[in-house]
């Protein structure tokens, strides 16, 4: 197969801001996937509002059947469709535009996109018509309509096809640029794509037999096997997000302050650790289950001796230190934190990046480790602490990072001016603070034992009743405030995106750029002493908080009933 | 540079002192957390059980019925109340949407719980102590509990099991 280095120029436009060659065929595919991501996000956000107003029993909005239906809808649209469509858009765009190369096969890209959209429509239809009240996890032997499983399979196949074009694009780039290394952002996305393949294959292994079972062709699905393999899809698919949003962090540090990883070797090593260790996280969901041994649990739940947590902690230093070093080069050298104080906080992409890192680390990360340790899982499993953790990780971390980078995608990918740009600087704060309050109240409510996925914690109609500690009333109110704030932030962002993309003014060139792109800063060849003392102090604060939180939870566990 | 290929010599660049110290610290904490779980298994008193038997819904139903008949002391809201002797095997059955039986236990004594489901997955969430375990059909999960506090405790189902999930609540009474 000849590589079109010449003769295909009419496929390309040259970006007048960045100078990148953009394959317009890839661009269209990326645009459609990005639009689907926002559509999914909108459904998820509306569902989220209904759920918040139902679980807060002061209002208790939805009836019981619709609560579980909307919960299923929310789970799949937020955790699967929004994020994966966004990542597919990023994979296609990054592997062509950022590498100055062409789309390997627009045809395969379109087939994948269409399959994914059909899958998305089928799953949403099945849920809304009441044919799949099985929640996101659809644990067998709960059974949904075959169309639900078929939709998931179609979506997965579509996603896999697009991921395969990403790898093919990298091969073209490799032939055109022998001996070169990938840009760090694309390298991080490559890690995400590799994890995506592992994840989607797990999904196929479990959804295909479950589909046949729902048709009556297979007689029986073992519930333990289902749960084990399903979480091979369920948790690692969130690790695609971690990899992708960390890549976005590096990108945003570069775009907003011109920061670069102070040691790319280290940052890349951390991405490799993700690939090696992060995909064993199925175990996080089986820690208090029968059927698997403690040796298996401890090894897998710790991501192979916490190598993936170690990797995240490497990024926790590498990204802020990139910002700090760039800011110091600009002359903000006073004390430990002048670089941070004088950072471009008015740039929504910068404030979004910082909030995303803080929420992901301090809320998502720390609670994730505590929930995922074999013994402390006893006091967290299936309580509200679990959504508390992933609200911090996926909503505060991934979603906020993706929302922030979108402020660059609107002009550079969609070639539109950002509508209501003055509003943009508030959006990350409203959303971020809302999510932080929501996640923390979730976590605390969970610590009081309140179950997740539960329509009525007054147990109306049950043979007994039980009243949770009345202190929880306060945290429920906080939960509602946080939830509503986060929904407002998300809706503002969606309005901005939709108005810009479909009704916005065209972006005619660099003079129309509303969101600033920082000049890159020259890096030193050698380090003398500490490269980023401010960041060093921040990560020390993090590790102290981390260790204290683990210790508190083990202390609390030790006063429970004895069990073995 | 996140958007462009790294500069010549990036692979040979020395790691900064602070990044090195941080990585060492992060690695030590990571490895410590791993060994902590093993240490807790050896020395502490709260660990998830790993004893599991294969069973069938029919078999487990019969075992529970025999257990109830043997030790039944009364009935509460239509659910049998059972008082097994300390140290014995206890059967707890989960099904859409109830737990049976109600158990009367003695504080400080050990009981070998067998927990399984007749239909779908359920969650065993003991309140107000907050301890949570999964309940499967076809797997008999054996958890050896020693209640360390007395009073009335409730078993909330915390794994979605169908439309009546919120009505699924059971009871354990622990006597001094």
Q: Identify the domain boundary among A145, A180, A215.
A: A180
Under 8 Å between Cβ of B110 and B136: no
Q: What value does the mean pLDDT take over residues A542-563?
A: 97
Residues of chain A numbered 457-486 and touching chain B (CB < 8 Å): 457, 459-466, 468-469
Please tell me whether residues A192 and A94 are part of one structural domain.
no
* pLDDT of A3 strictly over 50: no
Please tell me whether residues A81 and A191 are part of one structural domain.
no
Q: What is the pLDDT of residues A284-296, one digit of tens each?
A: 999 999 989 999 9
Give the percent of chain A with pLDDT over 70.
99
Q: What residue in B sits closest to A143 (Cα-Cα)?
A: B120
Residue with tokens 């097994």: B84
Please tell me whether residues A237 and A309 are part of one structural domain.
yes
Supply the pLDDT for residue A149.
Answer: 97
Name the band, by pLDDT with cuts 50, 70 and 90, for residue A339: very high
Please tell me whether residues A211 and A315 are part of one structural domain.
yes
Q: What value does the mean pLDDT take over residues A432-460?
A: 97
Q: What residue in A sits closest to B143 (Cα-Cα)?
A: A564
HSE of A235 in the Cβ direction (CA atoms, 13 Å)?
22
Two tokens, residue B23: 């990585």
Q: Which of B52, B156, B159 lies closest to A291 in CB terms?
A: B52
Q: What value does the mean pLDDT take over residues B55-63?
A: 98
Q: What is the pLDDT of residues A169-203, one digit of tens each?
A: 999 999 999 989 999 999 999 999 999 999 998 89
Please tell me whether residues A238 and A322 are part of one structural domain.
yes
* pLDDT of B1 strictly over 70: no
Give the percent of chain A with pLDDT over 90.
88
Q: What is the pLDDT of residues A21-54, one digit of tens each?
A: 999 999 999 999 999 999 999 999 999 999 999 9
Q: What is the pLDDT of residues A157-170, one digit of tens each?
A: 999 999 999 999 99
At CA A412, angle to CA A274 and CA A417, rounded to 5? Answer: 130
Mutation target among A188, A272, A561 for the B interface, most CBs of B within 10 A: A561
* pLDDT of A4 strictly over 50: no
Please tell me whether residues A363 and A501 are part of one structural domain.
yes
Supply the pLDDT for residue A424.
Answer: 96
Q: Which of B5, B129, B162 lies closest to A181 in CB terms?
A: B5
Give the percent of chain B with pLDDT over 70.
99
Two tokens, residue A191: 């890690």
Q: Is residue A384 part of a domain?
A: yes
Q: Is residue A4 part of a domain?
A: no
Please tell me whether residues A496 and A540 are part of one structural domain.
no
* pLDDT of A1 strictly over 70: no
- Count Cβ atoms below 10 Å from residue B151 Cβ, excluding itself: 13
How far from chain centre, in Å, is Cα A458? 33
* pLDDT of B85 strictly over 50: yes
Q: Which of B26, B48, B119 lies closest to A313 in CB terms?
A: B26
Supply the pLDDT for residue A6.
Answer: 53
Please tell me whether residues A225 and A316 are part of one structural domain.
yes
Q: What value does the mean pLDDT take over residues A360-365?
A: 96
Q: What value does the mean pLDDT take over residues B58-78?
A: 97
Supply the pLDDT for residue B67.
Answer: 98
Supply the pLDDT for residue A277.
Answer: 83
A2 vs B176: which has the higher pLDDT? B176
Under 8 Å between Cβ of A378 and B125: no
* pLDDT of A415 strictly over 90: yes
Q: What value does the mean pLDDT take over residues A311-334?
A: 96
Inter-chain touch B138–A321, beta carbons under 8 Å: no
Please tell me whether residues A107 and A225 are part of one structural domain.
no
Q: Identify the domain boundary among A134, A165, A180.
A: A180
Please tell me whether residues A415 and A277 are part of one structural domain.
no
Supply the pLDDT for residue B35.
Answer: 96
Under 8 Å between Cβ of A547 and A287: no
**Of A124, A117, A116, A118, which is closest to residue A78 (Cα–Cα)?**
A124
Q: Which of A321, A378, A453 lies closest to B160 in CB terms?
A: A453
* pLDDT of A8 strictly over 80: no
Q: Per the structure, how many domains does chain A have? A: 3
Residue A96's domain spans which residues?
Answer: 9-180
d(CA A202, CA A331): 50
Q: Are strands B169-175 and B151-157 parallel, antiparallel or unpaired?
A: antiparallel
A7 vs A240: which has the higher pLDDT? A240
The angle that helices A427-447 and A472-503 make with each other, rounded to 10 degrees, is 150
Closest CA of chain A from B137, distance in Å: 7
Q: Are strands B122-127 and B151-157 parallel, antiparallel or unpaired?
A: antiparallel
Q: Is residue A3 part of a domain?
A: no
Q: What is the pLDDT of residues B100-136, one digit of tens each?
A: 999 999 999 999 999 999 999 999 999 999 999 999 9
Inter-chain touch B146–A562, beta carbons under 8 Å: yes
All structural domains of chain B with their residue ranges: 16-46, 51-175
- What CATH number has the domain bearing residue A367? 1.20.210.10
Q: What is the pLDDT of residues A261-317, one digit of tens each?
A: 999 999 999 999 999 887 777 889 999 999 899 999 999 998 888 999 999 999 999
d(CA B91, CA B141): 10
Q: Is residue A95 part of a domain?
A: yes
Please tell me whether residues A139 and A192 are part of one structural domain.
no
- B31 touching A, CB under 8 A? yes
Q: What is the pLDDT of residues A200-220, one digit of tens each?
A: 988 989 999 999 999 999 999
Q: Is residue A2 part of a domain?
A: no
**Of A392, A403, A384, which is closest to residue A365 (Cα–Cα)?**
A392
Q: Identify the domain boundary among A156, A180, A204.
A: A180
Please tell me whether residues A563 and A481 are part of one structural domain.
no
Superfamily name with CATH number, domain B51-175: Cupredoxins -  blue copper proteins (2.60.40.420)
Supply the pLDDT for residue A2.
Answer: 40
């Amino acid at each position: 197969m000849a590589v079109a280095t010449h003769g295909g120029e009419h496929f390309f436009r040259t970006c007048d801001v960045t100078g990148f060659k953009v394959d317009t065929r890839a661009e269209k595919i990326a645009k459609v996937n990005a639009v689907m991501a926002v559509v999914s996000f909108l459904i998820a956000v509306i569902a989220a509002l209904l759920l918040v107003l139902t679980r807060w029993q002061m209002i208790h909005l939805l009836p019981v059947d619709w609560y579980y239906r909307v919960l299923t809808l929310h789970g799949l649209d937020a955790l699967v469709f929004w994020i994966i469509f966004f990542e597919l858009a990023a994979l296609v765009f990054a592997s062509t535009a950022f590498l100055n190369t062409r789309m390997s096969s627009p045809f395969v890209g379109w087939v994948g996109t269409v399959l994914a959209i059909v899958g998305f429509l089928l799953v949403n239809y099945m849920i809304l018509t009441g044919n799949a009240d099985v929640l996101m996890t659809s644990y067998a032997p709960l059974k949904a309509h075959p169309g639900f499983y078929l939709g998931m399979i179609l979506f997965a196949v579509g996603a896999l096809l697009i991921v395969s074009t990403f790898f093919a694009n990298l091969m073209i780039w490799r032939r055109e640029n022998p001996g070169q290394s990938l840009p760090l952002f694309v390298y991080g996305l490559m890690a995400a794509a590799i994890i995506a393949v592992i994840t989607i294959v797990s999904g196929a292994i479990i959804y295909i037999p479950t589909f046949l079972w729902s048709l009556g062709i297979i007689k029986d699905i073992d519930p333990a096997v289902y749960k084990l393999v399903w979480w091979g899809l369920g948790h690692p698919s969130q690790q695609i997000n971690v990899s992708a949003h960390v890549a976005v962090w590096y990108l945003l540090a570069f775009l907003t302050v011109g920061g670069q990883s102070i040691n790319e070797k280290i940052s890349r090593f951390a991405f490799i650790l993700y690939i090696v260790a992060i995909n064993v996280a199925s175990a996080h969901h089986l820690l208090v289950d029968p059927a698997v041994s403690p040796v298996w649990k401890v090894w897998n739940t710790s991501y192979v001796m916490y190598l993936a947590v170690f990797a995240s902690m490497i990024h926790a230093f590498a990204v802020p230190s990139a910002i700090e070093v760039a800011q110091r080069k600009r002359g903000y050298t006073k004390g430990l934190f002048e670089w941070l104080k004088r950072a471009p906080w008015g740039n929504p992409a910068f404030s979004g990046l910082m909030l995303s890192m803080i929420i992901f680390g301090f809320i998502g990360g720390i609670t994730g480790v505590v929930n995922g340790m074999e013994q402390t899982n006893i006091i967290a499993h299936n309580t509200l602490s679990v959504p508390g953790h992933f609200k911090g990780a996926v909503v505060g971390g991934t979603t906020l990072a993706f929302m922030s980078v979108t402020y660059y995608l609107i002009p550079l990918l969609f070639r539109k001016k950002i509508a209501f740009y003055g509003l943009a600087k508030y959006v990350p704060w409203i959303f971020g603070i809302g999510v932080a309050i929501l996640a923390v109240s979730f976590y605390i409510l969970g610590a009081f034992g309140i179950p997740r996925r539960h329509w009525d914690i007054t147990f109306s109609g049950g043979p007994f009743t039980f009243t949770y500690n009345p202190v929880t009333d306060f945290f429920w109110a906080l939960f509602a405030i946080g939830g509503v704030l986060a929904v407002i932030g998300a809706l503002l962002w969606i309005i901005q995106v939709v108005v810009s993309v479909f009704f916005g003014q065209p972006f005619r060139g660099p003079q129309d750029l509303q969101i600033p792109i920082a000049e890159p800063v020259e890096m030193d060849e050698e380090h003398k002493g500490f490269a980023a003392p401010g960041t060093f102090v921040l990560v020390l604060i993090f590790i102290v908080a981390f260790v204290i939180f683990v210790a508190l939870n083990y202390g609390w566990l030790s006063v429970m009933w004895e069990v073995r | 540079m996140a958007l462009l290929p790294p500069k010549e010599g990036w692979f040979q660049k020395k790691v900064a002192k602070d990044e090195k110290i941080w990585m060492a610290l992060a690695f030590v904490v990571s490895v410590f957390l791993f060994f902590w779980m093993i240490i807790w298994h050896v020395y502490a008193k709260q660990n998830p059980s790993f004893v599991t038997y294969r069973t069938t819904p029919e078999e487990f139903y019969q075992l529970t019925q025999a257990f109830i008949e043997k030790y039944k002391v009364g009935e509460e809201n239509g659910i049998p109340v059972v008082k097994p002797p300390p140290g014995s095997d206890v059967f707890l059955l989960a099904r859409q949407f109830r737990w049976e039986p109600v158990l009367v236990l003695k504080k400080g004594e050990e009981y070998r719980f067998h927990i399984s489901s007749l239909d779908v997955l359920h969650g065993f969430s003991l309140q107000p102590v907050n301890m949570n375990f999964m309940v499967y059909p076809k797997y008999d999960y054996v958890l050896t509990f020693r209640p360390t506090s007395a009073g009335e405790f409730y078993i909330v189902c915390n794994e979605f099991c169908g439309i009546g999930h919120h009505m699924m609540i059971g009871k354990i009474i622990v006597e001094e």
